[in-house]
Structure 1
Amino acid sequence: MTEPYDPAGEGAQMSFKGRMSYSDYLELEKVLNAQSPLSSAHDEMLFIIQHQTSELWMKLALHEMRAAIGAIRADRLDLSFKMLARVARIFEQLNSAWDVLRTMTPSEYTQFRDALGQSSGFQSWQYRAIEFLAGNRNLAMLGPHQHRPDLMEKLEGILAEPSLYDEAILLLGRSGFDIGADAARTDWRGTRAENEAVLAAWQAVYRDPQRHWMLYDLAEKLVDFEDYFRRWRFNHVTTVERVIGMKRGTGGTGGASYLKKMLEVVLFPELWKVRTVL
């Protein structure tokens, strides 16, 4: 009879007294004890974990986006490409999470929905930070965070500096392209206006990719990111409509109708319009 396999026979560490273990390194006790359902409904655990894991992925997306912005600002496009590719894959991962949440039926959600009070994903400050970092700077969206000075400081810090798309446009200017009014911008806090000069610059890049390969590659990395971001938003709408129909959201928004409006937001408008004018 074959003896059961013992990893210790091959040198695997089996005793962790006084040593750092896997659980210690990841602080798993904190993570695994962070779920506190407020009802006896079976599916509330699914709802909590889906949103908590999404927030963890968004934390990583923010980490990568900030690094990509810094790399573009320093003219290190080679570094930014890896980070932007990772952000796109993070949103691919976030998309998959909706598939798990959609296993919850409307009947199951109603068993614990009232326990949520007015809490809503609409209030996610990390999601807002991702939008602000990307370039969608709708100041009305600061409202849900005004009760938290610490979060407002973080979000205002993002708004005080150029966004990811702003940095891409400034790079066009440093590369010799006319970027029109964007060259004179000093207030990054407000909504940026679309710019025909920027559209013309991207058009020149796309008409001669070999000559402007790094800018061309950057443009496609940005489009990749927004492509996955749009899919995530679309899947969010579909999931919400499947679970609560056209009811209002717990946070007071129109629910699915509000999310459908968000589908119209374009992060990098000239990069999408350039496809029409080529």
Structure 2
Amino acid sequence: MNGDVADRPNLSFGQAEEPGTGTPYARYVHLDLLHSLQQPRSKVPAEYSFIISTQVMELLFDLLHHEWTAAQHALREDDLTAALAALRRGTHVQDVLVASWDLLATMTPAEFNGFRSVLGEASGFQSSAFLRLEFLVGNKSGSLLRMYQDSPATHAELTAALHAPSLYDDALALLSRRGVAVPHEPVPARHRPSEEVEQAWFEVYRNPELAEQARLGEALLDTAERVTRWRQRHLAAVKRSMGSKPGTGGSSGLTWLKQAADQDVFPELWTVRNAL
């Protein structure tokens, strides 16, 4: 009975094979390792879904960082075609990230409370991959690095990201190189709305000769809108599963998430609409 389940080896997902064995696919994606990483600490069924959902989000954070970094490099090389392609791929990743909240959105307070105690002080707020993305879109805060003082490599990586230009910084630098007046310098702090930057985008959008740069503005706005969608879905999921209780990592929970959801990314691309 070729191909019948009864003829296959009895191998559980969490059981590792000997090095060099298994199918080429299993070796390529490290399948045994991947399926061994889900280790619930309770017997509450919802915890398994919580772990997998979180791990999927972390992988998508890495993929999104890859695309946004590719967009940055293309912008620095004045290759708008490649930059727009990377941003477009990034929006697809963001769409999957937003949709991934569907796996957790209906978790009840009873389900979450059933395993919340095993999390201890662990919180998604501590995700270094997510913080790296926040820095990349200009939402920078040096005080957040204190969480990683006991992780030198992570602390060093995030410190470098804090001081490096954001994706928006590189977009504005490209406008400047192409003759649009943008009095803007990258800083290791949260991007603050600027009338001068808004005026620069106004010039881009009203000048037909800058249509390529206007397409960049729209691609960045696509990105920004999806950041807001992610934050809103996060807020709704937490509000439904735990209400306004403090977060497990000591954050203010719902209050912090609401403030984040109300904060626009690339703000001048939103406010310039008032003048167009």
Name the TM-score, length of structure 1 as normaliser: 0.89
Deviations 1:230-263 (A, max 9, x none): 0010000000010011111111112112100111
> 2 CA distance for matches of 1:188 and 1:81?
24
Mapping for residues 161-200 of structure 1, pairs under 5 Å: 161-180=164-183, 182=184, 185=185, 188-200=187-199
- Please report how far the alpha carbon of residue 178 of structure 1 lies from its aligned counterpart in structure 2 after TM superposition: 1.2
Mapping for residues 1-278 of structure 1, pairs under 5 Å: 21-180=24-183, 182=184, 185=185, 188-208=187-207, 210-278=208-276
> 2 CA distance for matches of 1:193 and 1:110?
38
Deviations 1:6-35 (A, max 9, x none): 9xxxxxxxxxx9786111110011111011
- Please report how far the alpha carbon of residue 114 of structure 1 lies from its aligned counterpart in structure 2 after TM superposition: 0.2
> 2 CA distance for matches of 1:152 and 1:34?
24
Does the C-alpha gap of structure 1 residues 258 and 194 become closer, same or farther in structure 2, counting only changes over 3 Å? Answer: closer
- Please report how far the alpha carbon of residue 194 of structure 1 lies from its aligned counterpart in structure 2 after TM superposition: 2.9
Q: How large is the RMSD of aligned CA atoms in angstroms?
A: 1.9
The 8 Å contact of residues 88 and 229 in structure 1, kept in 2 or not, is answered as no
Ranges of 4+ aligned residues in structure 1 off by more than 4 Å: 3-6, 17-20
Deviations 1:118-141 (A, max 9, x none): 100000101100010111112222
> 2 CA distance for matches of 1:33 and 1:277?
54
Q: Identity of counterpart residues, as a percentage? A: 37
The 8 Å contact of residues 193 and 267 in structure 2, kept in 1 or not, is answered as yes
List gaps (5 residues or longer) in structure 2.
5-19
> 1 CA distance for matches of 2:2 and 2:262?
59
The 8 Å contact of residues 123 and 249 in structure 2, kept in 1 or not, is answered as yes
Deviations 1:110-166 (A, max 9, x none): 111000001000001011000101111122222222221111111112123211000
Does the C-alpha gap of structure 1 residues 19 and 170 become closer, same or farther in structure 2, counting only changes over 3 Å? Answer: same
- Please report how far the alpha carbon of residue 265 of structure 1 lies from its aligned counterpart in structure 2 after TM superposition: 2.4
For 1:212, the aligned partner's letter is L
> 2 CA distance for matches of 1:262 and 1:21?
43
The 8 Å contact of residues 135 and 164 in structure 1, kept in 2 or not, is answered as yes
Does the residue aligned with 2:249 lie in a helix, a strand or coil? Answer: coil
For 1:115, the aligned partner's letter is V
Name the TM-score, length of structure 2 as normaliser: 0.89
Aligned residues: 261
> 1 CA distance for matches of 2:244 and 2:58?
25
Does the residue aligned with 1:212 lie in a helix, a strand or coil? Answer: helix
Does the C-alpha gap of structure 1 residues 19 and 242 become closer, same or farther in structure 2, counting only changes over 3 Å? Answer: closer
Does the residue aligned with 1:33 lie in a helix, a strand or coil? Answer: coil
The 8 Å contact of residues 160 and 188 in structure 1, kept in 2 or not, is answered as yes
For 1:200, the aligned partner's letter is Q
Does the residue aligned with 2:45 lie in a helix, a strand or coil? Answer: coil
Q: Identify the residue that residue 12 of structure 1 maps to in structure 2.
A: none
- Please report how far the alpha carbon of residue 87 of structure 1 lies from its aligned counterpart in structure 2 after TM superposition: 1.4
Does the C-alpha gap of structure 1 residues 141 and 275 become closer, same or farther in structure 2, counting only changes over 3 Å? Answer: same
> 1 CA distance for matches of 2:103 and 2:129?
21
> 2 CA distance for matches of 1:126 and 1:150?
13
